[in-house]
Chains A and B, each alone.
Chain A
Amino acid sequence: MILSTTRFGALSVDETQFMEFPEGLPGFEDCRRFVPFEHAECAGLIFLQSMDRPDLCFLTLPVRSLRPDYCPLLTPEDCELLGLPAGRTPQIGTEVAAMALLSLREGQPPTANLLSPIVVRVATGRAVQAIRPDNRYGCREPLVSEEAACS
């Protein structure tokens, strides 16, 4: 199908390959379907283009490209939405993919939201924004951790 977007113009997308957020995202509860793609000019970044709002396109990075040891923490509600058994951490890479939304503001260093990563179940495309129940990470983390930057 052809998707009209503000940033990229008309996009031809495979409508079977979208991510579906059954409850949307906080602040965007009505935006349930997003198409992920990379762009050759910024390889590594993943754009999440809303299928419901042409002007809504998030920028993300895989959480483990930001913090190699990152593990998403899913609440029982998150697991239910994803159709995964509760109480077990799903495997990143095989079962789920996890991405952090980036915030890029001119004049400020870019930050990543590691408090609430996007977690998508690979087999089904079902996705949630999984807000961590702990306070290990913040919602405005620098792209490179301080430990990594110093070593």
Chain B
Amino acid sequence: MLVIQRHEGQTVLVGDDVEILIIECGGRRVKLGFRAPRQVAVTRGEVKLTREQNLAASEPVSPAALREVGRRLPVLAAGRKAPGVAGIAGLATRPAKAWAVPTLGGSSGALDAKVVVAKGQAAAPDYGTSSPGVGKP
């Protein structure tokens, strides 16, 4: 990695088209300005991290991995009782007209969403476990 020391007000050039200006150096953060062609994307490193992590999180989950997280959920239940965390992220306290998180699979039936059985087949998620109630609203 190339390391260059710069002072406030000085610039660094990347290629011919990209200019980085050191606007301000604080104790803990640096303010930078970027001048670059429109087609050059300038993003924070965390955005790239988040994009990569989103792509990983979007991969289909295997039944084994889902069972593993299910096994850990009781451990998490204690945290869910923390103040301001009623129901889903505290949505139990939402105004009546706001959106809500419905439950599939037959239990509470709190809200409108339910699994619709297509052509007599139970729409079971692929957990690899039995799914009583799914598809039987």
Contacts and interface: CB of A to CB of B under 8 A. Distances in A.
Interface of A: 2, 6-14, 16-19, 25-28, 35-46, 55-56, 58-59, 61-69, 91-94, 97-99, 101-106, 109-110, 113, 115-116, 122-125, 129, 131-132, 139-140, 143-144, 148
Contacts, number: 238
Given A6-B60, A12-B115, 8 more contacts: A10-B118, A12-B114, A14-B111, A40-B133, A43-B103, A56-B58, A104-B61, A110-B69
13 contacts: A8-B115, A9-B121, A12-B112, A18-B99, A26-B51, A44-B73, A97-B89, A109-B68, A110-B65, A110-B68, A122-B94, A123-B95, A139-B53
A115 B46 contact: yes
B51 A40 contact: no
B66 interface: yes
A41 B129 contact: yes
Contacts of A62: 80, 85, 88-90
Given A46-B101, A103-B57, A113-B53, A93 B131 contact: no
